[in-house]
Structure formats: structure tokens, C-alpha cells
């Protein structure tokens, strides 16, 4: 069913980029990679959602291996947070320096650009590390927005990057534009209250 939906979209629209988020199991990771491999002109942004901030695990370790082996090498960009970068590389990520090392290691292993997001880091500044395919390192920084509405921030960021790439922006420019959009949204809606838990990162 998933592949049929993707096939219908690709047959009907001139799709330039696609964002892949939560993959529930290793079989779907394998089939997605097999299906998308022929579409070499499609810029894939993969947000490797392995678990939630609240601690729920979505993708098994076998699924992570399949994701890494088959899907990430097809990606234009992979956007792990600190815990996901640890899981994908086996490296400890507890500082900006370690985040950079993990981004470099994952980029070299899978042949894709990597943006390690710094939302799990400490301090008043959130710093994201981008390593492009040519090994160049770029850091993006912004004041941390204090809000309970942080559910889906990574999803919003990766979707925004995909949108920027579809509009013809370079990868560094697409990352910068998506970060600006996310920060503006978090600031604008920081006091909105929806439900009892973490609120959504509203546009």
C-alpha cells in the first residue's frame, strides 16, 4: 500500500524532493530503498525517527541496520538528533564536538550529507552541525526557544529543508531557511496550550 501511494504520486507529479520520516519496520525500509533506488534525480531528505522524545522506540535495531545499509546511501540529507546519531554511528554524542564527529562518520559511511540537530544539547543556544558530501562542515546557531510546544520540531525542520531543495536552494541555504521558519514558529506559538503533554511545533 505504501509503495502504491508513492508510485501514484511519482507518476502524476514532477517530484523533485521527498522527505521520509518514521519507518515502522525493517521490511518497509528495504522495500522503500528498492522502490526509490531508480529515482536517482529525487533528492531524499531522511529524518531517521528511531524513537520519540518521551522514550517510545519505533524502529527495531534490525530496522536501523536496514535503514543504514539500504536507504541512507540514497539520501541527499539525513537529519538525526543526538540520540539518533549515537544509534546510527555507535559513537557517544554528548557535546558539539562529538556531534560533529558523528556527522562526519555517518556521512563518510553512507555517502550522504548529514545534519546532526542539537535540540538535545544543553545551554541557551541550539547548534546544528551540517556535513556535506564533500566533507565541509557548517554550524548553525540560534537562541533556544523555551516552550512546551516541541513535539514534531525535527519533522518540521526536515520537511522545511525538503521544501527549500524543491525550490532550488542549495543544501546549506535550505537548512538555514528551514531553521529560520522553525525558530519563528516556536517563538510565535510558545504560549499556546494544546492538550496535556508536549504541544506541537505549530506553523
Check: CB of residue 126 under 8 Å from CB of residue 144.
Answer: yes
**Active-site pick, 51, 53, 150, 188:** 150
Alpha carbons 122 and 95: distance in angstroms, whole number:
8
**Active-site pick, 118, 129, 153, 164:** 153
Residues near 84 by beta carbon (within 8 Å), at least 6 away in sequence: 48, 49, 50, 51
Alpha carbons 19 and 46: distance in angstroms, whole number:
6
154 belongs to the catalytic site: yes
**Active-site pick, 63, 110, 117, 121:** 117
CA 28 to the chain's CA centroid = 18
150 belongs to the catalytic site: yes
* Alpha-carbon radius of gyration of the chain: 16
126 belongs to the catalytic site: no
**Active-site pick, 63, 118, 121, 154:** 154
**Active-site pick, 51, 53, 119, 155:** 155
117 belongs to the catalytic site: yes
State the catalytic residues.
Answer: 117, 150, 152-155
Amino acid at each position: 500500500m505504501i509503495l502504491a501511494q508513492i508510485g501514484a504520486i511519482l507518476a502524476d507529479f514532477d517530484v523533485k524532493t521527498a522527505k521520509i520520516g518514521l519507518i515502522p519496520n525493517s521490511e518497509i525500509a528495504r522495500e522503500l530503498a528498492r522502490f526509490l533506488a531508480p529515482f536517482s534525480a529525487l533528492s531524499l531528505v531522511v529524518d531517521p525517527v528511531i524513537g520519540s522524545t518521551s522514550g517510545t522506540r519505533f524502529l527495531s535495531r534490525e530496522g536501523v541496520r536496514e535503514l543504514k545499509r539500504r536507504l541512507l546511501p540514497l539520501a541527499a540529507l539525513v537529519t538525526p538528533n543526538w540520540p539518533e546519531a549515537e544509534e546510527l554511528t555507535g559513537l557517544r554524542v554528548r557535546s558539539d564536538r562529538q556531534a560533529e564527529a558523528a556527522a562526519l562518520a555517518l556521512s563518510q559511511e553512507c555517502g550522504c550529507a548529514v545534519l546532526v540537530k542539537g535540540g538535545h544539547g544543553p545551554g541557551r543556544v541550539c547548534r546544528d552541525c551540517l556535513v556535506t558530501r564533500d566533507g565541509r562542515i557548517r554550524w548553525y546557531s540560534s537562541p533556544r526557544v523555551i516552550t512546551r510546544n516541541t513535539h514534531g520540531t525535527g519533522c518540521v525542520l526536515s520537511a522545511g529543508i525538503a521544501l527549500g531543495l524543491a525550490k532550488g536552494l542549495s543544501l546549506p541555504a535550505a537548512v538555514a531557511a528551514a531553521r529560520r521558519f522553525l525558530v519563528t514558529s516556536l517563538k510565535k506559538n510558545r504560549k499556546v496550550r494544546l492538550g496535556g503533554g508536549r504541544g506541537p511545533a505549530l506553523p
